[in-house]
């Protein structure tokens, strides 16, 4: 029977919890906004962990600038965060950390907007079809 809950999944969830705590309470970089870790994917050989995050924007900056800046800050701090993880988790191998902006939220908002637009256009077409002036019985 295959394992439904693999070791890499459990390790990914533990890394996500520990990193979220460290980023919130231990990193003192004032440029770092409100970072949310959405998902951690750990390689089967435990060599790498890809961490997907989102960030809430700061005033006066575009979303693209905030994403790039946050990604750079987190990737620069990856060595420190990895060392702290190794100390906390006490596993034989601690994966190298790679941070990526999670674009799935943006894609979801975009698709929702497209669906709403299509529904509005469809509703407008149905209203045109049901125009009372064209009804002659």
pLDDT digits (tens, 9 = 90+) for 118-137: 998 888 888 777 765 555 54
Residues in the chain: 137
Do residues 109 and 131 both lie within one domain? yes
Asked whether residue 91 falls in the same domain as residue 111, the answer is: no
Tell me phi and psi for residue 29, to 5 degrees: -70, 120
pLDDT in tens, 22-45: 999 998 888 888 899 999 999 999
Do the Cβ atoms of 57 and 8 come closer than 8 Å? no
Is 68 in the same domain as 133? no
Residue 36's domain comprises 7-102
pLDDT tens-digit series, residues 62-121: 788 888 999 999 999 999 999 999 999 888 999 999 999 988 877 888 899 999 999 988
Query: Alpha-carbon distance 126 to 135, whole Å?
Result: 14
Q: Looking at residue 24, which CATH number applies to its domain?
A: 3.30.300.20
Please, where are the H alpha helices in 2-134?
7-25, 63-76, 78-89, 104-129
- Would you place residue 1 in the very low, low, confident or very high pLDDT band (cuts 50, 70, 90)? very low
Domain check: are 115 and 58 in the same one? no
2 is a domain residue: no
Closest CA to 82 of 4, 19, 129: 19
């Amino acid at each position: 029977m295959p394992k439904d809950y693999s070791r890499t999944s459990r390790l990914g969830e533990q890394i996500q919890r520990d990193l979220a705590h460290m980023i919130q309470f231990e990193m003192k970089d004032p440029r770092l906004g409100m970072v949310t870790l959405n998902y951690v994917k750990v390689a089967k050989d435990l060599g790498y962990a890809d961490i997907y995050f989102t960030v809430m924007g700061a005033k006066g900056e575009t979303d693209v600038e905030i994403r790039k800046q946050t990604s750079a800050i987190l990737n620069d701090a990856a060595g420190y965060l990895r060392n702290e993880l190794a100390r906390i988790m006490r596993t034989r191998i601690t994966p190298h950390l790679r941070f990526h902006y999670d674009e799935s939220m943006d894609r979801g908002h975009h698709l929702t907007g497209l669906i709403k637009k299509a529904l509005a256009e469809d509703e407008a077409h149905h209203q045109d079809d049901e125009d009372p002036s064209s009804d002659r019985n």
